[in-house]
Chains A and B, each alone.
Chain A
C-alpha cells in the first residue's frame, strides 16, 4: 500500500493484524491500516462489515483480541481510551454525542477544560472557566455556531449537533480525528458545511471517517479502505476502488439506493 502523497507524509496512526472476536464470532480480522497527516481516509463497506468495530478498536473503546496499534510511534494497544484521547486520538460517535442539557458554549468549554488542571478544581466558582470562553467562541465561529452559543445543545438541529460535536473535538486539537458517519441523516446543506469543515481541519491532522454517502467519499477522501465481513477487501483512491470488480459486487452494486 503506497502512501498517497509524494512528499513522504507522516504516519500518525498505524494498525497491524487487528483482530477482534466476540464469543466465537470473528468481527474483524487481519486489518492493517496506515493513516497519514493531512489526509482524509475513508472506511467503507456494507452494514456489518466491521467498520464501527475497527473504530472502537482504534480508539481503545474495545480491546483487540490480537494485533498492534501505534499512535505517532507509541504502542497504544493496551492503553485506556481516555489516555489515547489525551495523546491526541479523538473520535466522534455514530449517534450524535453532545451534552444535551449543557449550553453550546459549555459543550466546547468542557473539552477545553482538561489542560491546566481546571477539571479537578471543585473549590472554585464556575467563573474560573471564563478564561476559556474566547477560545470556545472562536471555535464556534469557525464552524458557524456562534449565534447559538447560549442555547442548550438539545435545541440544535441534527446537522448542527454534528457540527457542534466536531467543534468540541477540535477543541482538543487532536492529531488524529476519527469520525463515525459524520454525515448520516443530514440534509444537503449540512453535508456541504460539514464537508468543508472536515476538509479544512484535515490540513493539520489525519482524519479517518466511516461514511455511507459515496458522493461525499468521492469528493472528500484521499484514500479509501473497503471492508467486507470483517476483512479488508480493497484499498486505494476512489478511482481504483470503484473499478475493483469485488468491490462492485460487494458494495457498489447495492449502494445506489
Chain B
C-alpha cells in the first residue's frame, strides 16, 4: 500500500513537471523569433509537426510507414498549386493540402493495413515511390523545377504573411493546434483502442474490434496531420519541390522520431529540432550532412535506444505508460 501511494505521488509530481515544461516550451517558442532566425524556426516547427504526426502511427499504433513523404510533399504540391495558380487564400490552400493528404492516406492505408510489420513498410514505400514518379511526370507539379514563387498572401484577407513575425505566429499557432490534436487523439477513447491494438492485436480482435478499421483511421489521421505540416512548409518557403516526396524524406521523419523517442509526445519535436538544427549548421560547412545525421542515428540506436526523451522518462520520471520498452 505504501508503495502504491508513493507511486501515485510520483505520478502526480511528474504530471506537474510535465505541464510546467510544456508551458516553458510554449513560452520559449513565443519569444524565440526575437533571438533566432524565424525561417529556421518555422522549418523546425513544420518538421516537428510532421514527426509528431508520424509518431501517432508508429508510437501509438505500432505501424511503421515508409511512405510518409507522400503526405508531406503531396500536400505541399496541392497547397502551392491552389495558392499560386487558382489564387486561393493561404488558409484555404493549407486546408486543401491537408485534405488532399487525407485522401492519399486513405488510398495508401487501404492497401497497406492488410499486411503487418516489414510488409506494411514495404507497401507504403512502394506506393510512395509510385507517387514520387507521378510527381516527376505530372504537369501540374512542374517536374524537376517544382512550383516556385508561391505567394504567401494575407491570412483571412487581413494579416499580411509576408511580414516575418506574422507568419511565424501563424505557423506556431497551426503547429500548436496540430500537436494538440495529436495529444487529444492519443488520450481519447479511440486512442485507448489504438494502444490496445499495438499491445496485443489478436486480443483486440477477440474483443470484437475490427482492427483494420481502427488502423486505417489512425493512418488517415496521421496522413492528414503530416499533410498539414507539408502545406505549412509550402507557404513558409513559397515553393513545393520533389525533395519533399522522395523516400529520403520518409526516412528522415523516421530518424527524427526515433532520435527523439517514439511513443512520447515531446520526443519527435526534440528529434526534428535536432536534425533540422544539425542540417542548418552543417549546410555552410564542407562536412556532408548525411554522414552527420547517419552518425547521430547510430549513436542513438547504440546508446539510448528509447530516444532522447524516452531515455529521460526512463531515468528520471519512472516508467511512462505509453513508452514502449
Contact = CB atoms under 8 A, between A and B. Distances in A.
B289 interface: no
B189 A168 contact: no
Contact of B210 (A80, A128, A172): A80
B190 interface: yes
Interface in B122-180: none
Contacts of B196: 99, 102, 110
Contacts of B210: 80, 82-83
Given A85-B208, A114-B207, A172-B208, A120 B199 contact: no
B189 A93 contact: no
Contacts of B4: 150
A90 interface: yes
A113 B193 contact: yes
Interface string B178-198: 000000110111111101100
A114 B209 CA distance: 8
A129 interface: yes
B203 interface: yes
Interface string A124-135: 111011000000
A125 B187 CA distance: 6
A22 interface: no
Nearest to B324: A101
Which bracket fits the contact residues of B? 20 to 34
B188 to A, nearest CB: 5
Contacts, number: 105
A106 interface: yes
Interface string B284-323: 0000000000000000000000000000000000000110
A119 B194 CA distance: 9
Contact of A99 (B195, B206, B217): B195
Given A101-B321, A150-B4, A85 B188 contact: no
A216 interface: no
Nearest to B8: A150
A81 B205 contact: yes
A91 B202 CA distance: 10
A93 B204 CA distance: 12
Contact of B207 (A106, A120, A172): A172
B120 to A, nearest CB: 19
A80 to B, nearest CB: 7
A101 B214 CA distance: 19
Interface in A63-85: 80-83, 85
Contacts of A152: 321
A85 B207 CA distance: 6
A93 B206 contact: yes
A103 B8 CA distance: 13
A126 B188 contact: yes
Contact of A102 (B199, B208, B217, B324): B199
Given A98-B200, A101-B324, A111-B207, A121 B190 contact: yes
A99 B199 contact: yes
A100 B198 CA distance: 10
Contact of A82 (B187, B195, B208, B221): B208
B206 A81 contact: yes
Contacts of B199: 99-102
Contact of B206 (A90, A125, A129): A90
Contacts of B106: none
A119 B189 contact: yes
A77 to B, nearest CB: 18
Of A90, A113, A168, chain B has the most CB atoms within 10 Å of the CB of A113
A123 interface: yes
A16 interface: no
Contacts of A121: 188-190
Nearest to A150: B4
A255 interface: no
A25 interface: no
A86 interface: yes
B190 A120 contact: yes
Contacts of A125: 184, 187-188
10 contacts: A61-B205, A81-B206, A83-B208, A85-B205, A100-B200, A103-B321, A110-B192, A113-B192, A119-B190, A126-B189
Report, nearest first, the 10 A-B pairs whose CB atoms are least far apart: A85-B208, A122-B190, A99-B199, A97-B203, A86-B208, A82-B210, A118-B189, A110-B196, A122-B185, A122-B188
